[in-house]
A and B are shown apart, each in its own frame.
Chain A
């Protein structure tokens, strides 16, 4: 079946970096993009980034674009999201979701289970 499996929870100090993985299976990796979405405790959803494994194109939320990057490992059908210079307000559950291949159209039909990132000193 189609699924996205994410890496486990992480606790980081302020200023550190974190890299979250999202392994896709059950479909042809290059036929869909992957979006990243985060949700701070008790808050709403925030779109973070998108990548097309087909073209390698990426798009980032403006307020995070200086600190976030997404990459792919085609050999393992895995997408990585790295967030640098972590701040306490980066504490959130980070989700990957299957999206459209050409742009982040929002057809996010399959979601990972979420990865909790806690930033605390």
Chain B
């Protein structure tokens, strides 16, 4: 399973909403509702933002939301804040019972 495809970078002004796409195939993203999203700051461990396509763990801001259509999942960050500047990765379960991450997206707050 090849890495899921994400845009290399996305930017937005404070208060705006941005979307990050994550495109896979019917053998991963499209085949299962097991898509997760992670936020990572430099030299830090990733942090779970979304699991099972659209569920937020306790303590995660409602500004983060997830969805899926076909083979593409999306993360939306609404009310963009300076602290949202980080790298974001999607991740999916696959038909081989393995996991695959996306290529990663760097979010810049202008």
Give residues in A with beta carbon < 8 Å to B. Answer: 35, 37, 44-47, 50, 59-62, 95, 97, 103-109, 111-114
Residues of A close to B35: CB separation below 8 A: 106
**Cβ contacts A to B, 23 pairs, < 8 Å:** A44-B3, A44-B103, A45-B104, A47-B91, A47-B98, A60-B98, A61-B99, A62-B98, A95-B46, A103-B97, A104-B98, A105-B34, A105-B36, A106-B35, A106-B91, A106-B92, A106-B99, A107-B36, A108-B36, A108-B46, A108-B48, A109-B51, A114-B45
A106 to B36, Cβ gap below 8 A? yes
Residues of B close to A104: CB separation below 8 A: 93, 97-99
Query: Chain B residue with minimal CB distance to A49?
Result: B98
* Beta-carbon contacts under 8 Å, B20-49 to A: 34-36, 38, 40, 45-48
A45 to B46, Cβ gap below 8 A? yes
Rounded to whole angstroms, the CA-CA distance of A112 and B3 in the bound complex is 23
- Nearest-neighbour CB distance to chain B for A71, whole angstroms, equals 18
